Amino acid sequence: MSASASAIRLGVVGTGYVGLTTGACFAHIGHHVVCGDIDQRKVDLLNDGQIPIVEDGLEQIVRDARSAGRLEFVLGAAAAAADADIVFLCVPTPQSEDGSADLSYIEKAAAQIAPILKPGAVVVNKSTVPVGSTLAVEAVLQRDDVFVVSNPEFLREGTAVGDFLQPDRVVIGSANRAAAEKVAGLYDSIDTLIIITDPASAETIKYAANGFLAMKVSFVNAIAAMCEAVGADVTAVVEGIGSDKRIGRQFLNPGPGWGGSCFPKDSRALVKIAEDHGYNFSMMKGVVEVNDEQRARMIDKVARAVGRHHSNLTGVTVGAMGLTFKAGTDDLRESPAMAIIAELRRAGAVVRAFDPTTCGELSPHQELALAGIELTSALIDVTDGADVICVFTEWPEFAEVDLEQVAQRAGAGTTMVDMRNLFDPADVKNTGLGYDGVGRR
């Protein structure tokens, strides 16, 4: 339920994944929000009620907030920041090969809003930024009467709306207590822990959280490899360790490796930030290496399933179930599926794929990323004549596929490489298909 209208006026610069979710959710709980973007086409789409990303519940709260007159979309950062009490910077921070972040988008946005910010305004870094970025934004603004605060986001793709409205915590970093409390006040209607600290600590919390979660995934993938070596079943092992309250069950699902817009970028950035300050973060380097190794192991599984070496898959047809880095999103960025498919195609394989998010009209980004992959309009069609079937993404509807029909369409002797352990091995084998999961006997 949304709160009553707030006298606080918010500006949000950027309507990407973080900016759109942030703006819509703040409007949902009662604040007046103006979101600005440099893409006129995107602004027009949003004003027409069209949401450019797949995110459960987001379309409805955008529609409701706009109907209530609390959410606007405008062209440009300055238009979003005009008359705003608090401005959130939610722009990209792309990463270079060495792991360092490109702050040019944030600096450009800060420069654009600096002349029009009203005295006493608060500028908030919401994007994931390197430690010390608060000071960098202050240097660009050059406004003694404006305060800069760090308020990192902890949104998971697919559950972002719930994560914003029912968060585990809200982290705010500022050298000015009054500015921090002003930002904290925006969350008054949300029952959660508010952590107010210094900017460097707030920025580090964001990286440390994602780094730790990536470590859990890499750990369970390494354990899965060990289970295959010693003849153990990772399903039982995960149940055993996950029931320990000190460890917990979340993020202990073996798979093809982590991906998406956060874990790869933040893990490498954590290593780079530590390196820049004289610390060799060898543990985090290992987390990244294990993830790379896991993708290589999946490629070897596919090659073994067709009796080939991974470097020569000419003439092999791969049926791919899923393309996104996880279920519930249309995000292909750093997707393990896309990385593995690229290697399979490089070795000569033909890839036929289905994903629920690629059935309709493709965006320019999707068209570029999926070039060379044969897309089908139905899941079962990827199995036609497939030499090997790969389950890349854990879409729940995949588990409902008729395995008998899969076996008939694929043909005798075809193996399913289940990289998400989505299926019961016995059910698959009973159809005459071969089965190879991750860490399963």
Catalytic residues: 262
For residues 130 and 273, the answer to whether their CB atoms sit within 8 Å is yes
Q: Which long-range contacts (CB under 8 A, 24 or more apart) does 277-283 make?
A: 283/215
What three-state secondary structure class fits 173?
A: strand
What three-state secondary structure class fits 207?
A: helix
d(CA 177, CA 436): 55
What are the residues whose beta carbons fall under 8 Å from the beta carbon of 254, sequence distance 6 or more? 220, 221, 223, 224, 234, 238, 421, 438, 439
Structure token pair of residue 159: 């559950």
- What is the DSSP code (8-state) at residue 101? B
Structure token pair of residue 104: 């040019």
Identity at 238, one-letter amino acid code: V
- What is the DSSP code (8-state) at residue 434? E
Q: In terms of Cα–Cα distance, which of 152, 148, 291, 284 is closest to 218? A: 291
d(CA 224, CA 246): 20
Can you spell out the DSSP letters for 267-324? HHHHHHHHHHTT---HHHHHHHHHHHHHHHHHHHHHHHHTT--TT--TT-EEEEE--S
d(CA 130, CA 109): 17
Structure token pair of residue 211: 């780094």
Q: In terms of Cα–Cα distance, which of 130, 54, 23 is closest to 325? A: 54
d(CA 323, CA 351): 11
Structure token pair of residue 46: 């949003």
For residues 28 and 165, the answer to whether their CB atoms sit within 8 Å is yes
For residues 418 and 434, the answer to whether their CB atoms sit within 8 Å is no
